[in-house]
């Protein structure tokens, strides 16, 4: 079935920039330092694709404490140092973006500051310009649909005519709840084999993406 999309909404971390592994290591370290030594698998299950505020709320609820006042600043400092040293675009995304003629934007659980830094550092920011939307702009983050609906509204797109590119379960859930189609990228932490939905297509290479979002949705 051929589908004409108004636009493509990209998640950022793990979809455009290969940041998830880097961030996971830092989260693992910082959680251990405050007394919640989760495994990497547990961190992925609890937090992948969700907002910084969700992370903070969950940690404080679990430990029954308020995080130190410098927590956010220290997290940002560690992320920034690691990203500066090691961050790269997701494999194949540069070529994929060059082949996609449909209008596109980014909707991320990260802040605008983080998106501007990571996309700028990897040379991808010019692909999107100011068309960046953050969970800080809505009341509920992923897996709720609010962020994707907000992005579509700001872009002047109908939700039913949008396709979202995601790598997390929370993101896929949010996109489906928004009434959008989803391309689930399985080149990261999740294989997405548990998704069996008419509006979900799973890819393991970004080079599979352009035909799906360019009007050839099977």
189-216 CB burial, b ≥16 within 10 A, e <16 = bbebeebeeebbbbbeebebbbebbbee
pLDDT at site 217? 78
Helix axes 52-63, 40-47, angle to 10 degrees: 120
pLDDT at site 3? 60
Helices (H), the chain: 20-33, 40-47, 52-63, 71-86, 93-99, 112-121, 146-155, 169-177, 209-213
Homologous superfamily (CATH) of 20-86 is Putative phosphatase; domain 2 (1.10.150.240)
The three-point CA angle 208-213-169 to 5° equals: 75
Rounded Cα distance between 70 and 90, Å, is: 30
Domain boundaries, the chain: 7-18+88-213, 20-86
pLDDT at site 1? 45
The three-point CA angle 38-23-189 to 5° equals: 75
Provide the β-strand partners of residue 52.
Answer: none
Q: How far is CA 62 from CA 46, 170, 177, in A?
A: 12, 20, 28
Instruction: Report the chain (218 residues): mean pLDDT per 10 consecutive residues.
Output: 80 96 92 91 89 89 91 91 96 97 95 96 97 97 97 97 96 97 92 91 96 81
Homologous superfamily (CATH) of 7-18+88-213 is HAD superfamily/HAD-like (3.40.50.1000)
Rounded Cα distance between 99 and 207, Å, is: 9
Rounded Cα distance between 40 and 42, Å, is: 5
């Amino acid at each position: 079935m051929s589908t004409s999309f108004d636009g493509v909404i990209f998640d950022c971390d793990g979809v455009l920039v290969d940041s998830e592994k880097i961030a996971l290591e830092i989260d693992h370290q910082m959680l251990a330092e405050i007394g919640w030594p989760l495994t990497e698998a547990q961190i992925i299950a609890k937090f992948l694709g969700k907002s910084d505020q969700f992370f903070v709320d969950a940690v404080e609820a679990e430990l029954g404490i308020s995080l130190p006042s410098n927590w956010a600043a220290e997290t940002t400092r560690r992320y920034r140092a690691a990203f500066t040293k090691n961050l790269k675009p997701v494999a194949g995304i540069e070529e994929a973006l060059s082949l996609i003629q449909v209008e596109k934007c980014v909707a991320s659980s990260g802040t605008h500051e983080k998106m501007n830094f990571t996309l700028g550092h990897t040379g991808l920011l010019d692909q999107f310009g100011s068309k960046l939307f953050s969970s800080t702009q809505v009341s509920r983050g992923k897996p709720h649909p609010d962020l994707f609906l907000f992005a579509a509204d700001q872009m002047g797109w109908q939700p039913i005519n949008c396709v979202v590119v995601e790598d997390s379960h929370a993101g896929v859930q949010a996109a489906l709840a928004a009434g959008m189609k989803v391309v689930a990228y399985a080149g990261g932490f999740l294989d997405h084999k548990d998704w069996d939905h008419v509006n979900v297509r799973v890819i393991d290479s970004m080079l599979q993406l352009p035909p799906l979002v360019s009007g050839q949705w099977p």
